[in-house]
Amino acid sequence: MPALLLTNARLAGRTDRCDILLDGGRIAAVTPAGASAPVPVSTLPEQVDVDGRMVVPGLWDAHTHLTQWAMVRQRLDVSAATSAAHAAALVRDRLDLAAPPTGGTPLVGYGFRWATWPDTPTAAVLDAVAGDVPVVLLSGDLHSAWASTAGLRFLGIAEHPTGLLREEEWMPASPRIVTVDDAVSDALVADAARAAAARGVVGVVDLEVADNLTAWRRRVAGGWDGLRVRAGVWEQHLDAVLDAGLRHGDPLGDPAGSDLVTQGPLKVISDGSLNTLTAYCFEEYAGVAGPDAHGILNIATDHLVPLMTRAHAAGLRCAIHAIGDRANSLALDAFEASGARGSVEHAQLLRPDDVARFAALGVTASVQPEHAMDDRDVTERLWPGRDDRAFPLAELRAAGVTLALGSDAPVAPLDPWVAIASAVTRSRDGRAPWHPEQRIDVRSALEASVDGRPLDLAVGGPADLAVLDADPLALPAAHDDPADLADALRGTAVAGTLVAGRWTHHAL
């Protein structure tokens, strides 16, 4: 890899310009603009003038399900369609806007509801806008699908009178859409990585519910170069990771090859979720009675602690899903009892005492601020009188807890600027901020999105960088209205992204 010199860069919180020399995948030097490089380089560096743009450490998403996201992100939302012709127009617009999916997979849409449509959904209506591109649209209840002629062919259906597959016609064909073969999913994941790089992302933690060791070894062998990935492991696949002697951070591929994909944490689900009334709480859900009125604990302490102890002894970290306050309390107990290191995933509802315990135990709070925007109304309804303790980012931050922002994609989009906007404003869709006392500032949100690296760059650190068109730290001063600020942060334009000194996105 040739050395690269980014000239005329600005660092976070600084007004002067500097040159950033990248060599051997590392940040070799940061010098005042125009000064000659103080260190010898392996090759004469290529120079790229970033013209005063801000350069920050590349962004991380601390919680993704990358294959699920890769599949969902290329699906077209047709839920607004008021007729078959309208749905077809949405398909046509999408094909005008972006290339069709690669790897022979169909363009998949979802959400259509044709019961009240004035016209009839037929394969011919889709053929007229999509031609040979296979198109399969899923109904809002997932009980039917509407396919173009090429889409029917993809589904293995040679002849069909209309193209609208209902119930027993659709169910046997549905696995062709819901599950895809490895070559297709790998191509989609590579696409998703390119899209993430265009948002400044250099790394993700992948907590896909799958045999991630096998999947990522295959992708590394296939030349994966999209992002850094920490591949999590589930209990049912833990033996394979331990048998391979993999510790946290060890490369999953050939040790002499790429180190972009490394071993991530043991992922354990300890409770359910708010919307299904299964997050495990100290108090009952509002309006719910019976034995499960506090939610559901999915794993007993006498199972969780030995499991975490075993992972910790083998050099792995632990990522424990906990949403309700009681599940969080028990997860912290388990970190204490096992001595394990790692994170609580979600940490949605916390007692004040447990906020302090996160800090004391050095457990990272891996949080998804966009979920607070999705769930603000349901939180107030189901956890009344406790909603001030929900998504308590400012409280965690003030207590000195390490925060790591993420999306839980596909639940929220894999775009750190969405998470940052929600963390900073607690506002979306023009609504007033929700519990604004739990907002954190832009600097804190950025620091929680760069995998612990200093915002003003560390010489010797990995050459994982994002080149931003605008200075996000300056946005609050320019946007008094939180809704405007949220939009501005969400729209942060990324001019370039580098992983280990190599461009993964280059729009300079």
Q: Smallest distance from the beta carbon of 108 to Zn ion, in angstroms?
A: 22
| Nearer of residues 45 and 416 to Zn ion, judged by Cβ | 416
Position of tokens 């506002």? Answer: 427
| 271 sits near Zn ion (criterion: CB under 5 A) | no
| 61 sits near Zn ion (criterion: CB under 5 A) | no
Closest CA to 1 of 356, 499, 422, 491: 499
Closest CA to 316 of 328, 307, 329, 324: 307
| Nearer of residues 123 and 322 to Zn ion, judged by Cβ | 322
Residue 158 C-beta-side C-alpha neighbours within 13 Å: 0
Q: Give residue number: closest CB to Zn ion.
A: 408
Q: Smallest distance from the beta carbon of 207 to Zn ion, in angstroms?
A: 5
Other residues' Cβ atoms within 10 Å of the Cβ of residue 217: 18
Closest CA to 326 of 367, 271, 365, 369: 271
Q: Are 198 and 497 in contact (CB under 8 A)?
A: yes
Q: Smallest distance from the beta carbon of 189 to Zn ion, in angstroms?
A: 16
**What is the helix (H) or strand (E) element at residue 376, kind and residue range?**
helix 369-382
Q: Smallest distance from the beta carbon of 297 to Zn ion, in angstroms?
A: 18
Other residues' Cβ atoms within 10 Å of the Cβ of residue 110: 18
Closest CA to 130 of 107, 102, 164: 107
Q: Smallest distance from the beta carbon of 356 to Zn ion, in angstroms?
A: 26
The pairing of strands 228-234 and 201-206 is parallel
Q: Smallest distance from the beta carbon of 273 to Zn ion, in angstroms?
A: 10
Q: Smallest distance from the beta carbon of 135 to Zn ion, in angstroms?
A: 29
| Nearer of residues 354 and 408 to Zn ion, judged by Cβ | 408
| Nearer of residues 63 and 75 to Zn ion, judged by Cβ | 63
**For the chain, counts of helices (H) and of strands (E):** 17, 21
| Nearer of residues 206 and 408 to Zn ion, judged by Cβ | 408
Cis preceding linkage at 410, omega within 30: yes
- For Zn ion, what does the binding mask look like between residues 159 and 188, x meaning CB under 5 A? ------------------------------
Q: Which stretch binds Zn ion (CB under 5 A): 212-220, 295-303, 405-413, 454-462?
A: 405-413
Q: Are 401 and 359 in contact (CB under 8 A)?
A: yes
Q: Smallest distance from the beta carbon of 231 to Zn ion, in angstroms?
A: 14
421 has which bridge partners? none
Q: Are 87 and 121 in contact (CB under 8 A)?
A: yes
Q: Smallest distance from the beta carbon of 270 to Zn ion, in angstroms?
A: 13
| Nearer of residues 19 and 375 to Zn ion, judged by Cβ | 375
DSSP string, 211-264: -HHHHHHHHHHTT--S-EEEEEEEGGGHHHHHHTT--TT-BSS-TTS--SEEEE
Counting residues that bind Zn ion (by CB under 5 A) gives 1
Q: Are 260 and 499 in contact (CB under 8 A)?
A: yes
Which DSSP category does 452 fall into? T
| Nearer of residues 117 and 234 to Zn ion, judged by Cβ | 234
| Nearer of residues 127 and 408 to Zn ion, judged by Cβ | 408
Q: Smallest distance from the beta carbon of 350 to Zn ion, in angstroms?
A: 18
Q: Are 260 and 306 in contact (CB under 8 A)?
A: no
| 408 sits near Zn ion (criterion: CB under 5 A) | yes
Q: Smallest distance from the beta carbon of 369 to Zn ion, in angstroms?
A: 14
Q: Which stretch binds Zn ion (CB under 5 A): 144-152, 159-167, 404-412, 437-445?
A: 404-412
Sign, CA torsion 429/495/62/225:
positive
Closest CA to 417 of 463, 468, 366, 481: 468
| Nearer of residues 205 and 495 to Zn ion, judged by Cβ | 205
Q: Which stretch binds Zn ion (CB under 5 A): 32-40, 124-132, 401-409, 467-475?
A: 401-409
| Nearer of residues 4 and 412 to Zn ion, judged by Cβ | 412
| Nearer of residues 150 and 414 to Zn ion, judged by Cβ | 414
Q: Which stretch binds Zn ion (CB under 5 A): 113-121, 363-371, 407-415, 498-506?
A: 407-415
State the residues that interact with Zn ion by CB under 5 A.
Answer: 408
